[in-house]
Amino acid sequence: MKTKVVAAMSGGVDSSVAAFLLKEQGFEVIGLTMDLYDVHRLKCDEAGTKSCCGWKAKEDASRVAAVLGIPFYVVDLRREFEETVVGDFCREYGLGRTPNPCIRCNEHIKFRALLERAGKLGADLIATGHYARIVRGRDSGRFELRQGLDRNKDQSYFLYSLGQEQLAASVFPVGGLTKEEVRRTARKLGLTVADKPESQEICFVPDKDYAAFVAARCPGALQPGPILDMQGRVLGRHKGIIHFTVGQRKGMGIAARQPLYVLAIDAIRQAVIVGPNEERGFALAATAVPIAYIAWSVWLVVLGLALVL
């Protein structure tokens, strides 16, 4: 019997060619697209063909599956995606951090929730169009995640959180190819997605306005606060820490004699700390002080309760 594999098809050229390569290698391939988030069709149109969201992705993936002659399904993972990816995205921004939802999606959705659905279809493996490779260590027997052959397109860093169980059940068919080789293969097959532009925006924020997205879901994330220098002097005010990212140079709304960068974000004080780039290490240490103070205070309270009891 042929080994059955579910090909996660995003509607892009990489996952489409991955599905084709699997079929050529003798696998029994099932095409599957994840329904993750309801993005209004007009927003997808405004974002152009680069968007991997909603109806466009499912439409393109379905057409590719028909050309390849493989069964195709759409699996509804909107609830899981909302809870583990979108919710986390908003929480992290509210804490002054800059999350990468793709990493969390890979760990919790593609290689966990989708892997479970693949098992229900009787599939042994799941495949994606990631530019990465999996090698089993000769001595350790462990599965090792390695960079894709095309270093300009390598996506292994998006997959760093995958464990042994997930890597053992995963296949990356285009990991040993270059992007141009992938497109060339798609052209030979006559796939309409052969020259489709790459999708680089976050799928659930096609207009790239992350701050507006977070603010609409978590109004409390728009608390105003001070813009401080390393000495604690107030240089200005901001409308919410979600508008800032560590390393940011522009958009601070303050004037200075030298270039200022966002060195740190203190979510406890709702403060943005700025200064010359060379002060970055000192800023990280300074913002750790309030957190350490709170942790120490909590420990003293717990210790006091223990002594009383």
Least confident span in 86-100, 130-144, 176-190, 211-225: 211-225
Which pLDDT value is given to residue 45?
A: 52
Confidence category of residue 85, pLDDT binned at 50, 70, 90:
very high
Would you please indicate which residues are annotated as catalytic (active-site) residues? 105, 203
**pLDDT: which is higher, 220 or 46:** 220
Output the CA–CA distances (angstroms, integers) from residue 181 to 13, 114, 246, 256, in the order listed: 11, 28, 37, 49
- List % helix, strand, coil for the chain (3-state, nearest 5): 45, 15, 35
Percent of the chain with pLDDT over 90: 60
Percent of the chain with pLDDT over 70: 84
Tell me the domain boundaries of the chain.
Answer: 4-189, 223-308
Write down the pTM of the prediction: 0.80
Query: Which of the residue ranges 158-172, 199-213, 218-232 has the most confident prediction, judged by mean pLDDT?
Result: 158-172
Q: For the domain with range 223-308, which CATH number is right: 3.30.360.10, 2.30.30.280, 3.30.70.140, 3.10.450.40? A: 2.30.30.280
Please provide residue 74's backbone torsions phi and psi, each rounded to the nearest 5 degrees. -115, 125
Q: How far apart are CA 143 and CA 6, in angstroms?
A: 20
pLDDT tens figures, 12-52? 999 999 999 999 999 999 999 999 987 655 455 554 444 45
Fold of 4-189: Rossmann fold (3.40.50)
pLDDT tens figures, 257-296? 888 999 999 998 999 999 987 766 555 544 444 444 344 4
The token pair that represents 67 in the structure block: 């050309």
H-run or E-run covering 65: helix 54-68
